[in-house]
Amino acid sequence: MDNLPLTGLEIVELPSGLAGAYCGRLFSQYGAQVTKINSLKVQSNDLNKNFEYLNIGKKIVDYNFNSSKQRRCINSIIQNCDVLIHSSNLTSTQKFDFNEINNPKLISISISDTGSNGPLKNLETTDLILQATSGIMSLSSSQNGIPIKIPGNTSYFHAGSYAYSAALFALIARKESGTGSTVEISVLESILPIIAPSLLHSTYSGLPDKKLIPHKKQLVKCKDGKVFINSRDQASLEIIEAIFNIQLQKIPEDSDETLTNQNSILEECFRDMTMNEIFQRLSPLGILVGMKLTISDLVKNEHLRSRKFFENIDYLSNDQVPIPGLPFKIIKSSKKPEIPHRINQNHLDRKKTDTSNQEVKSLPLANLRVVALTHTWSGALTSQLLGSLGAEVIQIESPTRPDLWRGPIEDINTHDYPCNFNNQTPYNHYYNFNAVNQNKLGMTLDLEAKEGREKFLDLVRISDIVVENFS
Instruction: Answer yes or no: is pLDDT of 432 > 50.
Output: yes
Phi, psi of 13 (to 5 degrees): -115, 110
According to DSSP, residue 409 is labeled: S
Instruction: Answer yes or no: is pLDDT of 1 > 80.
Output: no
Q: Are 370 and 439 in contact (CB under 8 A)?
A: no
Q: pTM, whole model, 2 decimals? A: 0.76
CB atoms near residue 49 (< 10 Å): 11
Question: Which residue would you say has higher pLDDT here, 259 or 156?
Answer: 156
In this predicted model, what pLDDT tens digit does every residue of 167-209 receive, in sequence order?
999 999 898 889 999 999 999 888 888 887 877 777 777 665 5
Instruction: Answer yes or no: is pLDDT of 219 > 50.
Output: yes
Alpha helices in 247-359 (DSSP H): 256-269, 275-282, 295-300, 302-306
Q: Give the C-alpha distances (Å, rounded to integers) separating 17 from 2, 22, 32, 407.
A: 29, 9, 20, 41
In this predicted model, what pLDDT tens digit does every residue of 367-411 receive, in sequence order?
899 999 988 888 888 998 898 888 999 999 988 887 888 887 766
Question: Which residue would you say has higher pLDDT here, 356 or 41?
Answer: 41
- pLDDT for res 317: 52
- pLDDT for res 59: 93
Count the helices and strands in the chain (H runs, E runs).
17, 16
Question: Which residue would you say has higher pLDDT here, 407 or 32?
Answer: 32
- pLDDT for res 354: 44
Calpha distance 42→93 (Å, rounded): 13
Mean pLDDT taken over the chain: 79
Query: Which of the four pLDDT bands, split at 50, 70 and 90, describes residue 100?
Result: confident
* Cα–Cα nearest to 105, from 454, 354, 397: 354
Least confident of 248-252, 342-346, 353-357: 353-357
306 burial level (CB within 10 Å; 0-12, 13-18, 19+): exposed
Least confident of 157-161, 238-242, 282-286, 345-349: 345-349
- Element at 387 (helix H, strand E): helix 377-388
Instruction: Answer yes or no: is pLDDT of 94 > 60.
Output: no
- pLDDT for res 281: 92
For the chain, which domains are there? 10-194+308-348 (3.40.50.10540), 219-295 (no CATH), 369-468 (3.40.50.10540)
In this predicted model, what pLDDT tens digit does every residue of 36-60 receive, in sequence order?
998 776 555 554 678 888 998 999 9
Average pLDDT of 265-281?
91
In this predicted model, what pLDDT tens digit does every residue of 141-166 receive, in sequence order?
666 667 788 888 999 999 999 999 99
256 strand-pairing partners = none
Q: Are 63 and 41 in contact (CB under 8 A)?
A: no
Calpha distance 374→403 (Å, rounded): 9
- pLDDT for res 51: 84
In this predicted model, what pLDDT tens digit does every residue of 289-335 receive, in sequence order?
888 888 778 778 887 787 777 777 665 555 666 667 666 655 544 44
Q: Give the C-alpha distances (Å, rounded to integers) separating 422 from 270, 373, 407, 418.
A: 48, 30, 16, 8
CA 372 vs. chain centroid, Å, equals 18
To 5 degrees, how large is the angle CA 187–CA 16–CA 116?
50
Q: Are 97 and 25 in contact (CB under 8 A)?
A: no
- pLDDT for res 270: 92
Q: Give the C-alpha distances (Å, rounded to integers) separating 338 from 56, 86, 310, 312, 315.
A: 5, 23, 14, 9, 9
Q: Give the C-alpha distances (Å, rounded to integers) separating 242 from 122, 237, 262, 274, 457.
A: 58, 9, 15, 20, 42
Query: 3-state SS of the chain: helix, strand, coil percent to 5?
Result: 40, 15, 45
Average pLDDT of 107-118?
89
- pLDDT for res 350: 42
Buried residues in 224-257 as b, exposed as e (16+ CB within 10 A) = ebbbebbbbbeebbeebeeebeeebeebeeeeee
- pLDDT for res 36: 94
- pLDDT for res 353: 39
